[in-house]
Amino acid sequence: MAQADFRSPRLFVDTALGSGATVALERNQSNYLGNVLRLAAGDTILAFNGRDGEWQATIAGRKRPDSLVIAAQTRPQDRLPDIAYVFAPLKHARLDYIVQKAVEMGASALRPVLTRFTQVSRVNSERMRANVIEAAEQCGILSLAEVADPLPLDRYLSQREAQRLLVFCDEAADAANPLRTLQGEPMEPHGIDVLIGPEGGFAEEERANLLRQPRILRLSLGPRILRADTAGVAALALVQAVLGDWSTPGGGRPG
């Protein structure tokens, strides 16, 4: 399997990629390449779109970078494990952190849910998507996580697919070895939803509704109280360890 090149700049472009194609750059992309990275015509970068793999591309343009000429594919497209990160959004920088780390940990979907004790009532989905792209660019990731619009928790639960495993990270659960708990539950092929609640925890009626879900695994993350953003990273790390995702070179699965 081709290894990621972490020395070359990477750029997400929302257009089809193939040998010989020319991709027009948006103004912010041109500014980033020319003024931030100090690159010019003839320099090479890596381009990806989340669908066609990763490609070597040459910068073109007279006064400033204005397009890319796509050359050869450097890595084929992969696919992420079917893990949705379901979370109560936090404020500003901590929400940015949640999104970036979930992408780095290999989540394939980000699904914000609004609970009784959620700290924010409005979520900037475009900012979330920008953070997904930035994390993918910086970490050599080929597949972009889907960003869903926020839903009230009860509506999310009523709409989710019943055969998916819901990993409910519950601070009220009895402390137990979380790896052993996860290893005792079949996780595939129907996908996994990893649910992290708000800083104030779940209301009792919310917890009761969660525990009535058809396929649920109530998980303790240990004896310490974790902040919501820390809990998300810990839970995703545990799930990925059990799935075996970290044993795959390059951190992805063939597309």
Pick the CATH number of 10-76 from 1.10.287.3510, 1.10.10.60, 2.40.240.20, 3.40.30.10: 2.40.240.20
* pLDDT given at position 33: 96
The pLDDT tens digits of the residues spanning 197-241 come to 998 889 999 999 999 998 999 888 877 788 889 999 999 999 998
| Cβ contact 108:132 at 8 Å | no
* pLDDT given at position 251: 52
pTM here?
0.89
Q: What is the dihedral of CA 213, 205, 120, 178, to 10 degrees?
A: -50
Pick the CATH number of 79-254 from 3.40.1280.10, 3.40.50.720, 2.30.30.50, 3.30.420.240: 3.40.1280.10
| Domain regions of the chain by residue span | 10-76, 79-254
* pLDDT given at position 185: 73
Q: How many CB atoms lie within 10 A of CB 181?
A: 17
Q: How far apart are CA 83 and CA 234, in angstroms?
A: 14
Mean pLDDT of the chain: 89
| Cβ contact 97:128 at 8 Å | no
The pLDDT tens digits of the residues spanning 79-88 come to 999 999 999 9
